[in-house]
């Protein structure tokens, strides 16, 4: 029988214990797929006495990193600690010792992926991170291997289950952001500190990794234009539904001639588009390539067993000595430029609170026209006590022009405030909305 792949875990929380359990329960199947047995020898933890959902065998847990990295039998390390430190230091030490690393750490990979891949290559190890983007959804290996014949031009989708649950509840129950967040935390979908999720940073990291492999050029998460969902108002979700749209936090990366466009923001998605039907904590990713066309990957984007599924798939590849078919993404001076936010071109939804007086709409339309923005629809939603709520839907326009128009609009004496500004999902912005069902709707 072939020698087993001996594995050590860095972390034994929800995901780490799920990895260990699945290896124990499905050892025969994994061994058949890998061509040799896979076994876990150690798990590094901070507190061995902490209550855990499973009980590992005596001596399995350790607080000594050297017991893991100095053990010549350990061939692969699974990093499940999350965050940048000490995970970054531990991963670098493992790779430098010639041990392959499997991780779900999107923050680490999106920031330091090129350096860690170089370190792995120099020491004859592998670095694999399928679980860093969609948890149980296979996406990196399909892009890297099965779609190798394609020129991929676009990746887009819902990449964070926490925000998708919150936005879904805001739309279905009319809940405020704070109410929906509290519910998500109570159900375990949101962390006690949800800022990375709700401010869009988690989605930006995942999108950066996806774009890097789809386009063969590393994208830093810092270069991804990012808006979260904290400012979303259930009023806008209701109006969007009347217009025939759902609002989702969407990450989109497009390979253009001038460079890579990468952005994360709430977007209006047509109700007949598959992304609009993605509710709760699920994720969905679209990949568009030539010649394959458009593909959709859907499933749970978080959770112990879903993440463990991807990690075990990576461990099988390590055990088999597999190597990716695509070359590593270009980095540094060789990487394609990431376009600035002003390069975004979209249709816009703009909700304003204005004076209900003659000439107001003409002044607003004039401000838009002076910046080259044409209006597709003007909808007066509510009017009371001398104030009116107006929604503008524009034809596709440049981001820079829209920002300038907004600044001019905010300075108009008849405008009380710009209540919200949302973009339409890329790929649909040429024809939004198809028909208005809002009250007092008029087309401009």
Residues with catalytic annotation?
Answer: 206
Closest CA to 4 of 66, 76, 64: 76
C-alpha dihedral sign at 44, 50, 52, 55: positive
| Cα 55 from Cα 141, distance rounded (Å) | 33
Name the 3-class secondary structure at 167.
Answer: helix
Name the 3-class secondary structure at 293.
Answer: strand
Max alpha carbon distance in the chain (Å)? 86
| Cα 264 from Cα 318, distance rounded (Å) | 33
Q: Are strands 100-103 and 74-79 parallel, antiparallel or unpaired?
A: parallel
Closest CA to 268 of 287, 298, 289, 242: 242
Q: Contact, 267 vs 423, CB < 8 A?
A: yes
Closest CA to 349 of 378, 391, 406, 404: 391
The DSSP secondary structure of 237-287, one letter per residue, reads HHHHHHHTEEEEEEEEEEEETTEEEEEEEEEEEETTSGGGG--TTEEEEEE
CB atoms inside a 10 Å sphere around CB 46:
9
The structure tokens listed for 78 are 């699974």
The structure tokens listed for 271 are 């109700």
Cα 190–chain centre separation: 15
């Amino acid at each position: 029988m072939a020698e087993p792949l001996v594995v050590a875990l860095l972390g034994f929380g929800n995901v780490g214990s799920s990895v260990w359990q699945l290896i124990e329960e499905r050892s025969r199947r994994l061994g058949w797929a890998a061509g040799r047995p896979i076994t876990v020898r150690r798990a590094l933890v901070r507190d061995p006495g902490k209550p855990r959902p499973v009980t590992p065998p005596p001596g399995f847990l350790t607080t000594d990193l050297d017991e893991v990295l100095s053990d010549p039998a350990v061939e692969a390390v699974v990093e499940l600690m999350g965050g940048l430190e000490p995970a970054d230091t531990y991963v670098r030490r493992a790779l430098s010792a010639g041990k392959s690393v499997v991780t779900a750490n999107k923050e680490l990979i999106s920031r330091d992926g090129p350096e860690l891949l170089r370190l792995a290559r120099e020491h004859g190890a592998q670095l694999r991170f399928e679980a860093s983007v969609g948890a149980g959804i296979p996406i990196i290996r399909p892009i890297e291997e099965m779609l190798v014949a394609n020129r991929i031009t676009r990746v887009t989708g819902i990449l964070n289950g926490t925000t998708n649950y919150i936005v879904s509840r805001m739309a279905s129950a009319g809940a405020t952001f704070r109410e929906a967040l509290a519910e998500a935390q109570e159900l375990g979908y949101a962390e006690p500190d949800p800022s990375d999720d709700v401010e869009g940073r988690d989605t930006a990291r995942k999108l950066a990794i996806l774009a890097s492999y789809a386009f063969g050029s590393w994208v830093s998460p810092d270069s991804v234009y990012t808006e979260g969902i904290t400012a979303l108002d259930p009023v806008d979700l209701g109006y969007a539904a009347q217009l025939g749209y759902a609002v989702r936090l969407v990450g989109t990366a497009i390979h253009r001639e001038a460079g890579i466009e990468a952005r994360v923001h709430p977007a209006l998605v047509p109700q007949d588009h598959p992304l609009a039907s993605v509710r709760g904590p699920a994720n969905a990713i679209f990949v568009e390539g030539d010649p394959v066309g458009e593909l959709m990957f859907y499933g749970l984007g978080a959770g112990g067993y879903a993440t463990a599924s991807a990690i075990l798939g990576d461990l099988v590849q390590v055990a088999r000595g597999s190597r990716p078919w695509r070359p590593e993404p270009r980095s540094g001076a060789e990487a394609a430029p990431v376009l600035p936010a002003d390069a975004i071109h979209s249709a816009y939804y703009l909700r304003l609170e204005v004076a209900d007086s003659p000439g107001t709409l003409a002044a607003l339309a004039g401000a838009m026209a002076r910046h080259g923005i044409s209006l597709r629809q003007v909808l007066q939603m509510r009017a009371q006590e001398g104030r009116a709520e107006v929604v503008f839907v524009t034809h596709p326009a440049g981001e820079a022009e829209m920002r300038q128009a907004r600044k001019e609009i905010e300075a108009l004496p008849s405008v009380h405030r710009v209540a919200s500004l949302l973009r339409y999902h890329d790929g649909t912005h040429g024809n939004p909305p198809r028909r208005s069902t809002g009250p007092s709707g008029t087309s401009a």
